[in-house]
Amino acid sequence: MLAAKSQFDVLNEVLVEGITAQKLIKGYGQEDSFATRFEKENQGYVEKSLQTLKIQAAYTSNGAVITALGIALALVFGGIMVSGGSLTLGELVLFGSYFTQMAGPVRMYARLIDWYQDGLVSARRVYEVIDVGGDVPEPEHPVELPRLKGEIEFKDVSFSYGSAETLKHVNLKIEPGEKVAIIGFVGSGKSALTELVPRFYDATSGAVLVDGHDVREASLKSLRGQIGIVLQDIYIFSTTIKENLMFGRPDATNEEVIEAAKTAQIHDYIASLPKGYDTDVGERGLTLSGGQRQRVAIARVLLANPRILILDDSTSNVDAETEVLIRKAIDGLLEGRSALIITQRASTCENADKVVVIDEGRIVATGKHGRLLKTNEKYRSLINSQTLSFETDS
């Protein structure tokens, strides 16, 4: 029985993969291969289910036969005893009643076993999620942050996911409204640095401050409610465009929604759709292009009106026209806000107020794009590795 439940779990995993990765499967021409995999798991589930059903059918029929046989024997032998005077008719009826009442719980026991197996499989999935680790804890006496100005400071911050340190003694200060580009090779610690600000993780040592408040002392809601995040891997909910835009601010008016969409350079496209803002975007925004999803995400952040932004520069894999629209949307998003921008592009670094170069978890250089390009070999190497020199990009 447990084997059937476990096999059904595997079958569901394959089904979800097939739905979410359908473009990848089609792109590699692996429809038949994936269908074969699904059929194999499905057949396994059918076989294990049939084995379980055979056992259940045997138990159910045998249980009914045993119950009927018991009642028949009780009537036969009880009747003989009543005739002989060793048992009264009332005692026979009472015995039959007790026997019938006892048969019900015995049958229920089979159902309890079935429910128990369901519970085991479900509990295993739940504990798999729990074992991954929970969110950082809420402070014992959380500080409700007021409306932030946007100052961010890293004071001798070190951080590690496990045994190896990801960030090492980082010191950095971002003034309110300052746009800071963060650049480094893969695995240098760029994402880890930005993830400490909304407390997705806590620093191993040192402190991260926003407007002078240690983020570990602030309430998570008042902190994260003032931080907007736009990453390359955009998540769009399987609902309407309007509901996606209003996700961070459900009480927004139609006028505010439209204004945010205009600033994000997506309003004209939405208005051209038959249902406009009430258009359903499909599974994870399947009906939207990559650039459109990015601009919807930018509009969503704009509507929430955060004071601090964490932005993963996401224009490297789109066409030139879409890149222009996204850059205009980003310009509107950055206005008046402090921003940490993870990037590999020279144009983004050129437009930033300050560029921070990270290498192996340490800040190795800080300054303006032009000066770093002339004086820092590591920075030149990073720009050249992306074939995005300043002359080509400008």
Per-residue model confidence (pLDDT) at position 159: 92
Look at residues 158, 296, 164 and name the one whose alpha carbon lies nearest to residue 237: 296
Q: How many CB atoms lie within 10 A of CB 394?
A: 8
Strands 213-214 and 205-210: antiparallel
The reported pLDDT for the residue numbered 391 is 43
SS3 308: strand
Contacts within 8 Å (CB) and 24+ apart, 94-99:
96/71, 99/70, 99/71, 99/74
3-state secondary structure of 157: strand
Please give the pLDDT value at position 392. Answer: 41
The whole-angstrom separation of Cα 285 and Cα 293 is: 7
The Cα–Cα gap between 284 and 256 comes to 24
Cα gap 139→13, rounded to integer Å = 37
Strand-pair partners of 173 = 153
Computed from CA positions of residues 206, 209, 212, 215, in that sequence, does the dihedral angle turn out positive or negative? negative
Distance linking the first and last C-alpha atoms of the chain? 66
Whether pTM exceeds 0.95: no
- Residue reference for tokens 């259940």: 56
**Residues 267/196, Cβ–Cβ less than 8 Å:** no
Q: How far apart are CA 22 and CA 1, in angstroms?
A: 32
Can you tell me the distance from the alpha carbon of 56 to that of 114, in angstroms, rounded to the nearest whole number? 9
All domains of the chain in start order, with CATH:
2-132 (1.20.1560.10), 152-393 (3.40.50.300)
Helices (H), the chain: 2-20, 22-27, 31-84, 89-132, 190-195, 220-224, 241-245, 254-263, 267-272, 290-304, 320-334, 346-351, 369-375, 377-385, 390-393
CB 325 within 8 A of CB 295: yes
Cα separations (Å) of 339 from 44, 146, 374? 52, 19, 25
How many residues make up the chain in this entry?
A: 394
Q: Rounded to an integer, what distance in angstroms lies between the CA atom of residue 239 and that of residue 226?
A: 25
Pairwise CA distance, residues 96 & 76, whole Å: 12
The single-letter DSSP state of residue 134 is -
Q: If you ran DSSP here, which 8-state letter would residue 218 be given?
A: B
- State the Cα–Cα distance between residues 118 and 126, nearest whole angstrom: 12
Nearest to 42 by CA among 4, 88, 87: 4
Instruction: Compute how many other C-beta atoms are within 10 angstroms of the C-beta atom of residue 182.
Output: 28
Integer Cα distance of 129 and 143 in angstroms: 29
Each residue's pLDDT tens digit in the chain (394 positions)? 556 767 777 888 888 778 777 766 776 677 888 888 888 888 888 888 787 777 766 666 666 677 777 778 777 877 888 787 787 878 777 777 777 777 667 667 666 766 776 677 677 767 766 665 556 788 888 999 999 998 999 999 999 877 778 899 999 999 998 999 999 888 888 888 998 999 988 899 999 999 999 999 999 889 988 888 887 777 788 889 999 898 888 888 999 999 988 888 889 999 999 899 999 887 777 788 878 888 888 888 888 888 898 888 655 555 566 667 777 777 777 888 898 988 888 878 888 899 999 988 899 989 998 898 888 888 888 887 765 443 444 4
